[in-house]
A = this chain, B = another copy of it.
Amino acid sequence: MRIAKIPSLNWLRVFEAAARHQSFARAGKELSMSAAAVSQQILALETHLGRPLFERAANRINLTSEGGDFLPTVQASLGAIESKAESLFARQRIDRVTLLASQLMAMSWLPRVLADFEAANPAIRVDLLVEGTQRKVDPDLVIRFGEEPHLVRHPTWLMGMSHVVMCRKEDTARIGSLEDLLSFRLYDVASHAIGWTALLNHNFGPQPGRHLKLETVDTTPLSLMMVSQGLGLAIGHLPVCGPIAAALGLVVCPFVPRTPGPGNYYLEQPQDRPQRPSVGRLERALQEAAHASMRIGAQPAGAEDGR
C-alpha cells in the first residue's frame, strides 16, 4: 500500500475544509455532513498517512505543522481540478425552456423559428408542448390565441392573422368565379369561429340558397392536408399556416382577397416565478420572427422567394 495513493478525494476535501474553518463542526456544516463523519474521514486520512494532521484539544483542533505543509498543495490541486471541470463541462450545460403552443403553431410556424433560435443559442433548448396532449408539464412560456379586440395592444402581442383560401398550385387557374369556387369541397375547422359561410358573406355578400359543400375537420393542418390531396379548399390563417402550406405545396387562391381576421397571438408566462434570461431571449426571438412574418406576409414559399 503506497502512502501517496490516497483512496478518497473526499478525505482531501474534508481535510481542506476543516483546516480552513479550524473546526470539524463548521467543516461538516459547509459540506452538509455531520461533525462525526468529518472526524472519521480526517482520522482515516491521518491513519493512511501515518501522521496527525490536526492536534486535538478537548473541543478544538489545531493544524499540525505537517498538516500545514500539506494544505497548500491540496488546495491548489483540488482547485485546479474543479475549475478545469467547471470551465470544460459546466459551460456545456443546456438550459431547457418549455414552450406550449397550438397544434398549428407547433406544426407550421414554430419549427423553423425554433430551429433558428436554437442555432443562434446553443446553450438553450426549447421543449415544445402541443395543446391538447396529455403531458403534464408546467411551461415556461405559452403562445395563446384570442379574439378579443384589445389584444392588439397586449404587451406581449405576437401577431394578428388574415384569412386566405388555400388551394393547390395547379387549381389556381381553375378558380375564376364564385361558381368555380363553390364547385370545390370546402373544409371547415371545427374550433374556428370564422368559417366558409362568414368568409364568403364577407367577400361576396349574402348567398341565400347557394349550396356549400361544407366538410368539417378537427384541425387546420388536417384541412390543409385534404387540400393537398386535391380533395377541396380550406381556409388558411396567415402568417401562421404559411410554412406548412408551403411544405404541402399549397398557394393562396388569388380569387379570394386576403381578409383580416379578429384573432391575435400573444405570449403568456407563469406569474409565480421570475423570468429566466433564456425565457426572455426566446420571447424576443419569437416576437422578431413574428414581426418578420407579418412584414413579408409570410405567404407560402413557392409564392415568393423560394425559401
Which residues of A pack against B, CB within 8 Å? Answer: 2-10, 12, 49-51, 66, 69-70, 73-74, 76-78, 80-86, 88-90, 92-93
Contact = CB atoms under 8 A, between A and B. Distances in A.
A77 B6 CA distance: 13
A80 B81 contact: no
A12 B80 CA distance: 13
Total copies of this chain within the assembly: 2
A93 B4 contact: no
A80 B77 contact: yes
A50 B123 CA distance: 13
Nearest to A8: B9
A74 B84 CA distance: 9
Q: Which of A70, A78, A81 has the most CB of B within 10 A?
A: A81
B6 A85 contact: yes
A3 B49 contact: no
Contact of A77 (B7, B77, B89): B77
Contacts of A5: 82
Given A3-B90, A51-B89, A89-B3, A73 B66 contact: no
Contact of A85 (B4, B76, B83, B86): B4
A289 to B, nearest CB: 29
Nearest to A66: B88
Nearest to A67: B88
A85 B8 contact: no
A196 to B, nearest CB: 52
A274 B84 CA distance: 46
Contacts of A8: 8-10
A292 to B, nearest CB: 34
Given A7-B10, A8-B9, A81 B74 contact: yes
A89 B49 contact: yes
A85 B3 contact: yes
